[in-house]
Amino acid sequence: MKRIIYSLFFLFFFSSLALSADDVKIKEVFPFFPSLLTTKSGQPVNSSHFESPSVCMGCHPDIYNQWKGSMHSNAFKDPVFQALWNLAEKEAGPEMRNLCGGCHTAIGTVAQEVRKEDGKFLASEVAMEGVSCDLCHTIVETRMKISPTGLPQNASFVVEPGDVKRGPYKDSKSTYHKSEYSELHTKSEFCGSCHNVFHPVSNFHIENTYTEWKFSVYAQKGIQCQDCHMVPVEVAIQTAKTLKKPDKLPGRPSNVGPMRDYMYTHEFVGGNAVIPKLMGSDKHSEIAIKRLQNAASLDVKFTGGKKGDLSEITVKVKNETAGHNLPTSLTEVREMWLEITVTDDKGKVVYKSGGLDKDGNVDPSAEMFNAYAVDEHGYHTVKPWEIARFEYNNTIPPKGSKTVKYTILTPKDSKNLKVDVKLNYRSYPQAVANMLLGPNAPKIPTILMTSKTMNVALK
């Protein structure tokens, strides 16, 4: 089966006949190609078969309030996404409607009803709710085994909207809908379908969160995405540090149902503090900041210290609580970097790396822990459809660390030095935000993840 699909991919992209028999065949296996998304019947499904989150809210008000304002609830409306999607269609062609839509509005994609008006993508109300209740709870299986890499990728799941809502309980009853136990919902493979974004032609791993997790100590210990992103942030930090889930997480999933010993929350917060705030949820933004502020640790060592001579500052950055690389996913645009300032007795700066210039760009000599993406000719790009490879990937693996050395000239005329090291995070460079959002782009805040200050007596 896999071999057939590989050759189908090959033929699809490299045959010069636009509408060959192979084109028809691949549409049978992946009807919304290049998205790997499908429905149980393999046919498009009208969006009226999906229920609005406001219906679920009636009996699941707490869950609704957690989800509302999350990145999932913004997945379609997110202005940064909308702008890049527009550009994708312009530059890479109409296939981008299904490709990007498969994850950002799976409902709009299986309904084939995303349209564009005045440069803005629109769909039915329920499709514009992004990654919503009735999408996730009507997912029935993963198709990772028949994906081109054998990994979950590019929306490789099957959805079957209807009366049956699938979830983690084996004994759950509701008068409104049928409930069915789904092991998939309790596993990272559920999230992985969307949290692994591969180039549809080359399968280059552009966003790799699931795979990073899969080969980490967290996967070995059975700690899933849900155990960090569907629990209060304090619980996630404990779980990451102890590599053990709590025995109990009590809660009441429905206001017309029983109390449960174990219940997951639905904020789905990562590191994005910009979009939730822009779309009206300060709460999700604050949780993102808290997550970032507990994600890494810094260790600073100073060697040398002889006046007028060279000294060395060694900084070790450790990924303490992220279950995947730090940062992860859109690593070609996310920025995480070291800002280091060394000052003398009078407060004069004797060494600096990692500051921002007046336009908000990070000092190009800063130690940056992200990926540098290039196109097939080797030119830098942040457009996913152009990415051929990463020239480097300096992200930090789960529980791993990176060590950076700075050599400075120790001043002659100071008794002490103060070394101030900061680890910063920014969702996108200001220039990328300006390119996508134009003159109305908000100022993208720099979030201080952690810092260390050290005073050194010179010899």
| Residue number closest to ligand HEC, CB atom | 323
C-beta of residue 422 within 8 angstroms of C-beta of residue 335:
no
In the complex with ligand HEC, the residue whose CB is nearer, 148 or 384, is 384
Closest by CA position to 275, among listed 8, 26, 10, 84: 84
Distance CA 427, CA 335 (A): 6
- Contacts with ligand HEC by CB under 6 A: the residue count is 103
- By beta-carbon proximity to ligand HEC, the closer residue of 229 and 313 is 229
Q: Which of 9, 12, 67, 406 binds ligand HEC (CB under 6 A)?
A: 67
Under the binding rule (CB under 6 A), the answer on residue 231 touching ligand HEC is: no
Which of 8, 63, 368, 417 is the binder for ligand HEC (CB under 6 A)? 63
Asked if 199 is part of the footprint of ligand HEC (rule: CB under 6 A), the reply reads no
Q: Are 19 and 12 in contact (CB under 8 A)?
A: no
Q: Which amino acid is at 165?
A: K
Peptide bond before residue 442 is cis, with ω within 30 degrees of 0: no
Report if residue 213 touches ligand HEC, rule: CB under 6 A.
yes
Residue selected from 22, 23, 40, 167 as contacting ligand HEC according to rule CB under 6 A: 167
Query: C-beta of 271: minimal distance to ligand HEC in Å?
Result: 3
Cα–Cα separations (whole angstroms), residue 307 to 66, 412, 453, 454 = 56, 5, 20, 17
Find the part of the chain contacting ligand HEC (CB under 6 A) among 59-67, 306-314, 404-412, 415-423: 59-67
Closest distance to ligand HEC from the beta carbon of 135 (Å): 6
Out of 80, 128, 382, 396, the residue judged to bind ligand HEC by CB under 6 A: 80
Quick check: 32 binds ligand HEC (CB under 6 A)?
no
Query: Is residue 29 a contact point for ligand HEC (CB under 6 A)?
Result: no
- In the window 363-382, what residues touch ligand HEC (CB under 6 A)? none
Residue 42 beta carbon to ligand HEC: minimum distance, rounded to whole angstroms: 18
Instruction: State yes or no: residue 143 binds ligand HEC (CB under 6 A).
Output: no
Stretch that binds ligand HEC, among 9-17, 107-115, 175-183, 358-366 (CB under 6 A): 175-183
> How far is the C-alpha of 15 from the C-alpha of 12, rounded, in Å?
6
Nearest to ligand HEC of 321, 343 (CB atom) = 321
Token reading at 416: 């002490």
384 binds ligand HEC (CB under 6 A): yes
Q: Binding to ligand HEC by residue 131, rule CB under 6 A?
A: yes
And the tokens for 152?
């979950």
Q: How far is the CB of 44 from ligand HEC (least distance, A)?
A: 17
Amino acid letter for position 403? T
| 422-to-155, 328, 454 alpha-carbon distances in Å | 37, 20, 12
- Token pair listed for 46: 């009208």
Nearest of 390, 345, 83, 57 to residue 207 by alpha carbon: 390
Q: What is the distance between the alpha carbons of residues 10 and 201, in angstroms, rounded to a whole number?
A: 8
- In the list 275, 408, 423, 433, the residue contacting ligand HEC (rule: CB under 6 A) is 275
Question: Of 55, 92, 351, 287, which Cα lies nearest the Cα of 176?
Answer: 55
Label residues 447-459 b or e (16+ Cβ within 10 Å = b).
bebbeeeeebebe
**Based on CB atoms, which residue is closest to ligand HEC, 52 or 414?**
52
CA distance 50 to 101: 16
Q: Which stretch binds ligand HEC (CB under 6 A): 18-26, 118-126, 262-270, 402-410?
A: 262-270
Give, in order, the Cα–Cα distances in Å from 338 to each of 348, 369, 388: 20, 9, 27
Task: Evaluate whether 70 touches 276 at the Cβ level (below 8 Å).
Answer: yes
Residue 258 as a binder of ligand HEC (CB under 6 A): the answer is yes
Q: Is 75 in the site for ligand HEC (CB under 6 A)?
A: yes
Residue 14 amino acid letter: F
For the chain, the distance separating the N- and C-terminal CA atoms, rounded to the nearest angstrom, is 70
Q: Is 232 in the site for ligand HEC (CB under 6 A)?
A: no
Binding mask 282-321 for ligand HEC (x = CB under 6 A): ------x--xx--x-------------------------x
Of the pair 9, 351, the CB lying nearest ligand HEC is at 9
CB-nearer residue toward ligand HEC: 209 or 343: 209
Q: Within 10 A of 375 (CB to CB), how many other CB atoms are there?
A: 14
Q: Which range binds ligand HEC by CB under 6 A, 118-126, 132-140, 303-311, 450-458? A: 132-140
**Residues between 389 and 428 that touch ligand HEC (CB under 6 A):** 427
- Nearest distance, CB of residue 151 and ligand HEC, angstroms: 11
What's the CA angle centered on 371, arms 369 and 373, to 5 degrees?
A: 155
Between 106 and 408, name the residue whose CB sits nearer to ligand HEC.
Answer: 106
Q: Under a CB-based contact definition with an 8 Å cutoff, are residues 113 and 48 in contact? A: no
| 31 scored as a contact of ligand HEC (CB under 6 A) | no
* Cis before 258 (ω within 30): no
Return the amino acid letter for 15. Answer: S
Closer residue to ligand HEC (CB): 193 or 410: 193
